[in-house]
């Protein structure tokens, strides 16, 4: 396992192929031993090189939110991106929703193309679809409370870990271990995590029917559905999101 320090307040343990790395390390050390070339400095040098390469390989597959502004709206929603970006894409979603997990690849691409470049912001809102949905979002919110600045890493990691419509004990154990969360402290936090209720109230006001549902806001204007040629896109593909950014509201 490798510990990656994304920022001072957060140490996240990421599994980057521990078994493969261990096998490589064993074979390297065996080769040094067989060659009667096993002084301490040589072994440390070889292991350092292996660890460095493993870390580089790992980082290639893990989103890096350092340098991307993150904030919360006046009513508490989580926002990623430049506060002065002219367009905000707003998603109502649930990590326990199959369609939401499938759609995350589109959101990831949108973040890479437009949020990281400062052209747009991404606002995440919660919409329950399963019995454990409330717990899942409270888990994300409390992770951010207990590990300040960790929300987007927790968001990514929970989407990676979950593959059913519930939070299994294995997923919960893995998640709390990776974010070094004390279960007693976490349990005390959960009842205080109420952002989900704010998001649900907004979803009701917007008459959201299911997840994922995506909206757009131009500047500080009202939240609007994404409409192109009279067709409403609840889960727009990346091509439509690109069109929205390029049009700057001309098609709204």
Angle of helix 133-146 versus helix 195-205 axis, rounded to 10: 130
The mean predicted confidence, pLDDT, of the chain is 84
Is a pLDDT exceeding 50 seen at residue 6?
no
206-216, pLDDT tens digit by residue?
999 999 999 99
Report pLDDT for 164: 94
CATH code for the domain defined by 70-247: 3.40.30.10
pTM of the entire predicted model:
0.77
7-39, pLDDT tens digit by residue?
333 334 444 444 454 555 556 555 655 555 556
Q: Domain residues of the chain, as ranges?
A: 16-59, 70-247
């Amino acid at each position: 396992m490798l510990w990656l320090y994304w920022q001072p307040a957060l140490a996240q343990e990421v599994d980057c192929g521990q078994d493969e790395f261990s096998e490589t390390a064993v074979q390297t050390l065996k080769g040094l031993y067989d060659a009667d070339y096993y002084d301490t400095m040589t072994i440390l040098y070889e292991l350092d090189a292996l660890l460095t390469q493993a870390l580089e390989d790992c980082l290639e597959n893990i989103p890096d939110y350092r340098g991307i502004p993150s904030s919360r709206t006046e009513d508490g929603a989580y926002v990623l991106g430049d506060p002065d970006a002219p367009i905000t894409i707003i998603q109502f979603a649930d990590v326990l929703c199959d369609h939401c997990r499938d759609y995350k690849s589109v959101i990831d691409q949108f973040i890479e193309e437009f949020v990281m470049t400062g052209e747009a912001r991404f606002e995440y809102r919660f919409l329950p679809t399963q019995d454990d949905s409330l717990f899942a979002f409270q888990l994300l919110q409390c992770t951010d409370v207990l590990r300040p600045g960790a929300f987007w890493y927790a968001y990514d990691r929970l989407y990676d870990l979950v593959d059913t419509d519930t939070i299994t004990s294995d997923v919960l154990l893995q998640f709390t271990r990776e974010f070094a969360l004390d279960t007693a402290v976490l349990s005390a936090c959960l009842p205080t995590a109420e952002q989900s209720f704010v998001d649900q109230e907004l979803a009701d006001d917007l008459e959201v029917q299911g997840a994922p549902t995506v909206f757009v806001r131009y500047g500080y204007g009202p939240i609007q559905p994404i409409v192109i040629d009279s067709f409403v896109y609840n889960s727009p593909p990346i091509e439509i999101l690109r069109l929205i950014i390029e049009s700057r509201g001309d098609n709204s």
